[in-house]
């Protein structure tokens, strides 16, 4: 009798254990499903956000390729592996590629333009004669092989003066404390005089300049 009771009690305990395991398993399964559901919802939200962000990147025209790359890397790091997101990522990558190509093209054009400007400046510097002094111009006008060439030098020399009518004084010397001059002339006439006479009997004694650095009065002295 005692043995029978024990047997029954054991069976009951066994059933209770089975029931407990059953209940426990059911509860665990429902928790897992909930977690899975929450994870799926989170992923869906991430995908939605990623799509929105990617669309925004595609529509944006202000960001540089580097900024687009940085934003895209952030989205790619989420590893969403969603076909739509992947397609948008590809589009953004294509856009970045195009932008980079455009930027490279612009940079190349700019480089070429700068190079051309540099070469032009160098060529102009080579072509341009050294900056001539007034004495140089006098000498070149006198020794010019033709009137046309002398006239070119005259025109260049006149650029040093405030006007072709700039007065030119030719001092003969100082006598009794008083300075004597030849009749005053103008720079235009004086330069033509040098061209005609093919000799320079005067030296530069004094140059007066205006505020812009141009010569507004020239004083020469008769060579002794």
Partner 1 sequence: MIKKQLFIFISLFLSLTFSLLAQPELSPERKIAVDSLALEKVKDLSKYISMIGDKKTPFSEANRAVDRAMELFMEGSQMGVSAVGRKEIKYYGVRKYLERLMALNYQKVKIDWFNIQYISDLQRQPDGKYVGVITIYQKFEGVTKEGMKYVDTTKKDITVYVERKKTQVNGREIGYWDVMLGDIRVSETKRG
Binding site for partner 1 (CB under 8 A): 147, 167, 169, 172-173, 175-176, 178-184, 189, 192-193, 196-198, 201, 208, 216-217, 222
Contacts 24+ apart (CB under 8 A), 93-102: 95/57, 95/58, 95/68, 96/65, 96/68, 96/69, 96/72, 99/64, 99/65, 99/68, 100/65
Of 41 and 180, nearer to partner 1 (C-beta) is 180
Considering beta carbons, is residue 32 or 179 the nearer one to partner 1? 179
Least distance CB 159 / partner 1 (angstroms)? 20
| Smallest separation (angstroms) from partner 1 to the CB of 137 | 19
Element (H, E) at 164: none
- Rounded CA-CA distance 75/87 in Å is 13
Phi/psi of residue 186, nearest 5 degrees: -115, 160
Nearer to partner 1, 57 or 166 (CB): 166
Nearer to partner 1, 137 or 190 (CB): 190
């Amino acid at each position: 009798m005692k043995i029978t009771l024990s047997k029954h009690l054991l069976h009951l305990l066994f059933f209770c254990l089975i029931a407990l395991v059953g209940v426990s398993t059911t509860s665990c399964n429902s928790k897992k499903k909930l977690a899975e559901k929450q994870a799926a919802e989170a992923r869906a939200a991430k995908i939605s956000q990623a799509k929105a962000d990617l669309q925004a990147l595609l529509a944006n025209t202000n960001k540089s390729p580097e900024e687009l790359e940085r934003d895209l890397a952030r989205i790619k790091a989420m590893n969403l592996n969603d076909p739509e997101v992947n397609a948008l990522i590809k589009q953004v990558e294509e856009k970045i590629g195009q932008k980079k190509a455009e930027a490279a093209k612009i940079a190349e054009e700019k480089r070429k333009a700068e190079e051309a400007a540099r070469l032009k400046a160098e060529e102009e510097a080579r072509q341009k004669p050294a900056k001539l002094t007034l004495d140089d111009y006098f000498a070149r006008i006198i020794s010019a092989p033709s009137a046309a060439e002398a006239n070119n030098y005259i025109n260049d020399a006149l650029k040093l003066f405030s006007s072709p009518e700039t007065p030119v004084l030719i001092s003969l010397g100082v006598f009794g404390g008083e300075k004597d001059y030849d009749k005053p002339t103008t720079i235009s006439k004086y330069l033509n005089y040098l061209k005609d006479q093919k000799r320079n009997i005067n030296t530069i004694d004094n140059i007066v300049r205006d505020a812009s650095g141009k010569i507004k009065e020239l004083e020469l002295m008769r060579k002794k």
